[in-house]
Structure 1
Amino acid sequence: MGEDFFKYLPSKIVVEILSRLPTRAAMACKFVCKSWLSLLATPEFVNSHISRSVPGLLVKTHSTSSYDVIEFVDELRLDFDKEHRWNVAFNFKLPFDEPTHSSVNGLIFLRDFGRGDLILCNPITREYIKLPCPPKTTTAVDLEMDTFGFGVSRTSGQYKVVRVFVEAPRKEAYKHDHLLPFACQVYTVGTGLWRNVPSGSPPLRFFDFHGGVLLNGNLHLMALEMTTDGLVERICCFDLETELFSTFSVPPPCGIGERYCKTPSVFRDCLCLSHISSDGEIVIWLMKEYGDDNSWTREVFVCEVDIGFVGERHVWPIRVFENGDILMEEEDKPFYYSNKTKTFDNDISFRGDRGSYYTSMTMYASSFLTLKNFVTENVSSF
């Protein structure tokens, strides 16, 4: 009866049902029958599943070559143990050991700093693409700064890798009181080509350790701009659709040691900046109205951080739970804030092996988007 029930259901209804399944269960559906195998590859299912896919966390430890996908669970019981607020939904291994950089719609972007490899992969479809290296723009060998971002444009739906870099000048041409002009290259996945894109902005000094944070079809990077008042912090925004640069202001520092330490991220669907104050407190700012410099709100304020932390490390929130507890990251090291006890726990483990050293942590939402859609790319399987 069950088999006949699904056999005669309209495909639209079957898509609605299967796209609501947890990722592991949806993956198993590919082996049920040929019709479901084909159905899970259709744009209707892929798009429906992406719209419902809940972001989790992709982690990799130093001691293993496998990646774990962590799913979060909210629980209303006040005595609920934080150990059970997350579980490993599934894990996988990749045929390369590059650290994860970022992820969009289930596609993971990896960058190898040693060899310069740039890779896109989808662990659900077990496919990957090795992107060509960006061409040199001059004969200069050294770079003052080199950072990448990965995202998808709002209107065209094109996936793009963006490189922002500053080439080292000749010593005789270098002036310490001037910022160096930056250059931009864009790779639209599926074209096989890197393009030079005019910056159209005044010289900026980028913080290359962040990479680009994606929100509203724009990539965001922290930068410094030279003004009449000296160097001022800015958020540099690159529109993936128009390929134009713009800048946002940031909240003013409230104490000594708070300049140049704000870390961008996306939190509660808002552009977010977090930092450690001069008093040893973690402060989280949210841009309530995207693009409105006057809408910065000091949304979350937590305390009792080691004062030696200030000005040395970068932190950003991962998730706020129902009772106000917060999971955060400090440079690939998770820590947990208890709203009840007002204390932090740095001894966080997702696998049960406490003290694990995480080589990468990336926000990730799974999808069945196949890389074979990008027909000009050389897609490999693993």
Structure 2
Amino acid sequence: MESEGDEASHQHPKRNKPTSSAPFSSTSVQDSSSEFPVLPADLISEILFKLPVKSHLKFKSVSKSWLGLISSPKFVKSHINISSDNNSLLYDHVTKAIDFDFPPNKSNKSSIKAVGSANGLIYVVLGHSDLFLWNPSIRKFKKLPSPRIVFLYMYGFGYDELNADYKVVCLTQKVYDDDSRYNVDKIYSLNNNSWKRLDEFRIGKLSNQTGMFVNGKLRWENTTKHFGCYSDWDVIFIDLADGRWGEMEKPFYSEGKLRFEPCLGVLENDLSMLCHHLGSHADVWVMKEYGVKESWTKMFIIKYPYDNMGYSVFGPPFCMSSEGEILFRNDSVFMIYNPNDDSIRFPKVSNFGPLVEATLYIESLVWLFVANGTTNATTSKDTKFTDEDIRVINK
């Protein structure tokens, strides 16, 4: 998920004892004429936290103490928190995509779906049978065991903080004669490296294939009734900690008819919802306080961008930059909305084909461990899909 680093060329005739606040020694350098001040262990940690993953992989070979520090769960978690706060995605008008080699090599044409990401791990579905967890930063992947579901209809991926576990949800639906639907789902635990069957839960028709992960839960839009081309709907969720299903309140909106069913998303770690109004605009709602219906707030009203084919419909927001600009997916390209002047622009991304799937991604050192503390992740080096590349734009 490594390049070699060079040992320091100076010898150290004297070293301080390790401090109790960090798992490695502070270091001083001394020659015949002067002695440099000691660099505190805590300061070294703070410096390393802010470096990119590429540097961490090099520094692992500096010493055993540095290897232990950079590999420690505490360091990995602190680095994730810093990476998550780095909103540099929308700075440039022209961005270059980065190619990542993703195994395994496939001779047949298979659809590639990036279902979601959490802490730098990306859940990838190849066709309907091959499931992977992948960390592009450290070039490691893990193929998951088969969930033994005939047809994977919906997906979800997230981090169970209560149990410190990464989990995948795969589900399909059974439709009965009275048109009632029940989900048939399984949940995968990375800690246990196994799937578990969950209880059935009566639902309508789920609109989005990918569950939106917020606050330890995956959510889908659930269509319950149909009125012509319009539908009544609610939001259902599954708690990754205990595997239980539930429902949550949607915002109240009364401004005319909606063109489509609302789309769920995640904006700044909060649940968001995009409502398209016929031929005019879309609203972006955000739930400011999780689980509280009254906290749903209409954040933005965005007029449809027009082109030669008429107005263009865009998907839910992906993220917000430190300047307040918001990234959307507009059909096969990206769209950036600036709420300060109500402007819309379409960034150029070189080395990048038509957009099919998109998910947010941050650099991380998260390793694919299993319950016994060992890893069976595989390094990706020289293998690629033969039908298409996966290209990633870092957050």
TM bracket (short chain): 0.7 to 0.9
Number of aligned residue pairs: give it: 340
Offset at residue 265 of structure 1 (A):
1.3
Which is higher, the Rg of structure 1 or of structure 2?
A: 2
Q: Take 1:214 and 1:309, find their aligned partners in 2: how far apart are those partners?
A: 33
> Which residue pairs with 1:379 in the alignment?
377
Offset at residue 364 of structure 1 (A):
1.1
Classify 1:224/1:361 alpha carbon distance in 2 versus 1 (closer, same or farther; 3 Å): same
Q: Take 1:309 and 1:233, find their aligned partners in 2: how far apart are those partners?
A: 28
Q: Take 2:288 and 2:310, find their aligned partners in 1: how far apart are those partners?
A: 28
What aligned pairs does 1:133-282 form with structure 2 within 5 A after superposition? Answer: 133-136=146-149, 146-167=153-174, 169=175, 174-175=177-178, 178-199=179-200, 201-209=201-209, 211-226=210-225, 232-255=232-255, 257-258=257-258, 260-282=260-282
Describe the SS at the equivalent of 1:44.
helix
Classify 1:204/1:115 alpha carbon distance in 2 versus 1 (closer, same or farther; 3 Å): closer
Offset at residue 270 of structure 1 (A):
1.6
The equivalent position to 1:50 in structure 2, one of 80, 105, 108, is 80
Classify 1:372/1:254 alpha carbon distance in 2 versus 1 (closer, same or farther; 3 Å): same
Question: Which amino acid in 2 is paired with 1:30?
Answer: K
Classify 1:259/1:133 alpha carbon distance in 2 versus 1 (closer, same or farther; 3 Å): farther
CA contact (8 A) 1:27 1:124 kept: no
Q: Take 1:182 and 1:213, find their aligned partners in 2: how far apart are those partners?
A: 17
Runs of 4+ that moved beyond 6 A: 1-5, 307-310
Relative to its length, the structure with more helix (as a share) is 1
Q: Take 2:222 and 2:66, find their aligned partners in 1: how far apart are those partners?
A: 48
Offset at residue 276 of structure 1 (A):
2.2
The alignment-based identity, stated in percent, is 23
The equivalent position to 2:52 in structure 1, one of 22, 25, 35, is 22
CA contact (8 A) 1:116 1:133 kept: yes
Describe the SS at the equivalent of 1:18.
helix
Q: Take 1:33 and 1:290, find their aligned partners in 2: how far apart are those partners?
A: 44
Offset at residue 219 of structure 1 (A):
0.8
Q: List gaps (5 residues or longer) in structure 2.
A: 1-7, 13-24, 29-38, 106-111, 381-395
Classify 1:10/1:180 alpha carbon distance in 2 versus 1 (closer, same or farther; 3 Å): same
User: Residues 266-322 of structure 1, C-alpha deviation per residue, up to 9 Å, x if partnerless?
Assistant: 113321001322242121001121111222111111214349878x95511233345
Q: Take 1:290 and 1:2, find their aligned partners in 2: how far apart are those partners?
A: 53
What aligned pairs does 1:62-101 form with structure 2 within 5 A after superposition? Answer: 71-72=88-89, 82-83=92-93, 92-96=100-104, 98-101=112-115
> Which residue pairs with 2:27 in the alignment?
7
Q: Take 1:29 and 1:282, find their aligned partners in 2: how far apart are those partners?
A: 48
User: Residues 11-38 of structure 1, C-alpha deviation per residue, up to 9 Å, x if partnerless?
Assistant: 5443222011233433443354554344
Describe the SS at the equivalent of 1:360.
coil
> Which residue pairs with 1:67 in the alignment?
none
State the TM-score, normalizing by the size of structure 1. Answer: 0.76
Offset at residue 241 of structure 1 (A):
1.0
